[in-house]
Amino acid sequence: MPYTLAKFFFWGLLMALAGGVIGWLLRSLTCRAEVARAKAITVDNDELDRLRGRLANLEPVVAERDRLRMELADVRGSSAGALGFATTANTSIILDELVVDDDAPEAMPALFADVMSTELPASGAVDGPATVAPEARFELDPAEASAALGKKVRLDDLTVVEGIGPKITELCNAIGITTWAELASAEVETLQSMLTDAGSRFQMHKPGSWPGQARLLAAGQWADFQQLTGDLADGT
């Protein structure tokens, strides 16, 4: 009996040793094949440098394009009634052309010049609802707003509007409303449709006063804004 157990143990040890050696050999062969394959791959340094150079040239162009998109969105939101369909269509065509061409990034400044040369009508030259000039927003003083409203205020923070929180701000941003001026020019029906599409948890909100509040904020009329929100809180 002890002889049988010793024999069984010996053969088991021998098989384990043989399996370990075979596994080591297979792993060694696999590693050698991977190393040989990696050494066979050559890198074209000239092509790599050329691609890096093109990427470096395109980054400022892309950043300038994005900046112009944001500025044009502000212009559309604050003067949609005054510009008319023709100007909007023309600027849309220009924006569609602002696609980065990897082979000719130097051609982009001409398109940027076309966008920046778009002229807006002078104040009072066009009949229609009062709008906030796009440059007026940049003249607002956050410190003055914070002092007047009694809380810290960031320019174009939609949550300052009574009835709008972070979640509704995300909904507004999703439909292109990111500033007070854009919210001021938005249709109440559009805002109500946005809330309806967002689900039942948002349907209790009433956006009827949001454009009016945003118009006062965009114009820097802090006292009137406080009066309006106070009336809304009182239910009047």
Residue 66 has pLDDT above 60, yes or no: yes
> What pLDDT sits at residue 233?
76
Residue 175 has pLDDT above 60, yes or no: yes
* Residue 84, CB-side half-sphere exposure with 13 Å CA sphere: 9
CA angle at 90 for the pair 85 and 92, rounded to the nearest 5°: 95
**Gap between the Cα atoms of 212 and 207, Å rounded:** 10
> What pLDDT sits at residue 4?
81
pLDDT > 70: percent of the chain: 69
Least confident residue range of 53-62, 147-156, 204-213? 53-62
Q: Record the tokens describing residue 141, joined without a space.
A: 């003083």
The 10s digit of each residue's pLDDT in 68-118 is 887 887 777 655 544 444 444 444 444 444 444 444 444 444 444 444 444
Q: Which long-range contacts (CB under 8 A, 24 or more apart) does 123-126 make?
A: 126/81, 126/82
Domain boundaries, the chain: 47-116, 136-234
pLDDT grade for 167, boundaries at 50, 70 and 90 = very high
Length of the chain: 236
**Gap between the Cα atoms of 11 and 30, Å rounded:** 29
CB 35 within 8 A of CB 95: no
List all residues 6 or more positions away from 167 whose beta carbon is below 8 Å from its beta carbon. 202
Neighbours of 15 (CB within 10 A): 10
Dihedrals phi, psi of 24, to nearest 5 degrees: -65, -40
**Gap between the Cα atoms of 234 and 224, Å rounded:** 15
List all residues 6 or more positions away from 130 whose beta carbon is below 8 Å from its beta carbon. 215
Neighbours of 162 (CB within 10 A): 14
